């Protein structure tokens, strides 16, 4: 019996479970160890904040997917990888042995440089625990307790969340005066990964939605009602959402696997760890040697089928296929007015059609894996 163990219920592992459900492999036992029983689809998260989707939309039931794939499901956090004895140590559970191991554990929040963030802000990543924290914020907004909202982080997640909060708090037409204020603090340049045209559209969209943009100033402290910037300025904020860059889960570095300077596992094109043929990884927790890309779900999704194929091939002792990360990819950023900015390579446009396309892609992904 060959033991394939999947750690983490990230986007790439959904494809592995799907592939094994479609074509089980004789002589292989599949196990999924996941800290959370439901995998939230990140693309729909801003829509859950804005009210476009119900609060529990886009949650994929990992237990059900595992059952379909004939996999054991362990709902627990893996605490360490014992590579000498080829087993996973799990909090509150006996160790699980592996012949082949795959890691899709995402990222952990990194708010060490922002004093007070852990206690006074809603830290967006990891998104698997975001829902319960979001419920409180939405209740406060609904009951008018949040007049000033701040989003920290000028990447796609922060940008979309600022628009989502604007949509959620929009005053009825013609009643702008009572509307909550929303600020977006970008740290560096807003959406630095977008082409110039995309950034122009993004800045204009913020202006039109009355979202105050602060660029080139970093948040150093978050108090219960104020956000303090490194240039001494302060902004009123009854609630702050933090969507800044995140860090590697400590389990990776503790494993002794070769990692990049930020602690993400260095991967070959086969999605195998640089220094261990038995260990694969995908999604945000991996760093593809020579093909480094931004941490985005789109890469985890593209790696999923390759990972599934290679785990199968490795179990059968067949040569592995190579993953080639695409240079350009379509980015769709939802705005508060029912439009979206679509950007790919050097091109960018803004339209209602792009919003509908994003909605279709996101709903299609979730439906594929049985989510609602």
How many other CB atoms are there within 10 angstroms of residue 275's CB atom? 13
Nearer to ligand FAD, 154 or 249 (CB): 249
**Identity of the residue, 195 or 226, whose beta carbon is nearer to ligand FAD in the bound complex:** 195
332 phi, psi to nearest 5 deg: -120, 120
Q: Which is nearer to ligand FAD, 283 or 371 (CB)?
A: 283
Quickly list H helices, the chain.
11-22, 45-50, 62-68, 117-120, 130-142, 156-169, 196-208, 250-254, 297-316, 352-368
The CB-of-217 to ligand FAD minimum distance in angstroms stands at 21
Indicate left, alpha or beta for 78 from its phi (over 0: left) and psi (-120 to 50: alpha). Answer: beta
Q: Please report how close the Cβ of residue 164 comes to ligand FAD at its closest, in angstroms.
A: 8
CB 13 to ligand FAD: min, Å: 7
Instruction: Name which of 314, 114, 292, 335 is nearest 220 in CA terms.
Output: 114
Assess contact for 33 and 6: CB atoms under 8 A.
yes
Q: Which is nearer to ligand FAD, 13 or 170 (CB)?
A: 13
277 vs 315: CA distance, rounded Å: 12
Q: How many CA atoms lie within 13 A of 316 on its CB side?
A: 12
Q: How far is the CB of 104 from ligand FAD (least distance, A)?
A: 5
Binding residues for ligand FAD (CB under 6 A): 7-12, 33-36, 39, 42-43, 45-46, 77-78, 104-106, 124-128, 157, 160-161, 243, 249, 251, 283-285, 295-298, 300
CB 292 within 8 A of CB 284: no
H or E stretch covering 29 = strand 28-34
Q: Give the separation between CA 324 and CA 290, rounded to whole angstroms.
A: 10
Distance of CA 281 to the CA centre of its chain: 16
In whole angstroms, how close is the CB of 92 to ligand FAD at the nearest point? 12
| Residue 120 or 255 with smaller CB distance to ligand FAD | 255
Minimum CB separation of residue 84 from ligand FAD in Å reads 19
Compare residues 161 and 227 and give the one whose CB is closer to ligand FAD.
Answer: 161
**Which CB, 7 or 185, lies closer to ligand FAD?**
7
Q: Locate the DSSP E strands across 172-329.
A: 181-185, 211-214, 219-222, 226-229, 234-236, 239-242, 265-267, 272-273, 276-281, 286-288
User: Nearer to ligand FAD by C-beta: 197 or 293?
Assistant: 293
| Cβ at position 251, least distance to ligand FAD in Å | 5
State the Cα–Cα distance between residues 104 and 128, nearest whole angstrom.
13
CB of 364 vs ligand FAD, minimal distance in Å: 13
């Amino acid at each position: 019996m060959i033991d394939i163990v999947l750690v983490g219920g990230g986007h790439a592992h959904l494809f592995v479970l799907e592939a094994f459900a479609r074509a089980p492999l004789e002589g292989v036992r599949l196990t999924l160890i996941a800290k959370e029983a439901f995998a939230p689809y990140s693309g729909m998260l801003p829509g859950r904040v804005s009210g476009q989707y119900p609060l529990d939309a886009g949650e994929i039931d990992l237990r059900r997917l595992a059952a379909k794939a004939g996999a054991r499901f362990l709902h627990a956090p893996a605490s360490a990888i014992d590579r000498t004895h080829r087993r996973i140590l799990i909090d509150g559970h006996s160790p699980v042995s592996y012949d082949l191991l795959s890691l899709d554990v995402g990222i952990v929040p990194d708010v060490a440089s922002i004093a007070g963030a852990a206690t006074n802000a809603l830290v967006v990543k990891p998104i698997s625990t975001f829902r319960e924290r979001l419920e409180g914020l939405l209740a406060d907004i609904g009951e008018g307790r949040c007049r000033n909202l701040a989003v920290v982080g000028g990447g796609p997640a922060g940008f979309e969340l600022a628009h989502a909060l604007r949509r959620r708090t929009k005053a009825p037409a013609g009643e702008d005066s009572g509307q909550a204020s929303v600020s977006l603090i970008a740290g560096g340049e807003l959406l630095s990964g977008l082409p110039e045209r995309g950034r122009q559209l993004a800045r204009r969209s913020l202006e039109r939605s009355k979202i105050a943009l602060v660029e080139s100033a970093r948040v150093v402290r978050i108090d219960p009602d104020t956000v303090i910037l490194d240039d001494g300025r302060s902004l009123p904020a009854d609630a702050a959402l933090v969507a800044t860059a995140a860090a590697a889960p400590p389990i990776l570095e503790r494993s002794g696997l070769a990692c990049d300077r930020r602690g993400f596992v260095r991967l070959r094109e086969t999605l195998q760890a640089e220094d261990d043929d038995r260990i694969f990884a995908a999604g945000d927790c991996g760093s593809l040697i020579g093909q480094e890309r931004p941490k985005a779900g789109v890469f985890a999704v593209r790696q999923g089928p390759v990972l599934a194929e290679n785990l199968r091939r490795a179990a059968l002792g067949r040569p592995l296929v190579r993953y080639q990360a695409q240079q350009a990819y379509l980015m769709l950023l939802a705005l508060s007015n029912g439009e979206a900015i679509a950007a790919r390579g050097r091109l960018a446009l803004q339209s209602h059609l792009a919003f509908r396309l994003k909605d279709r892609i996101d709903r299609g992904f979730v439906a594929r894996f049985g989510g609602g």
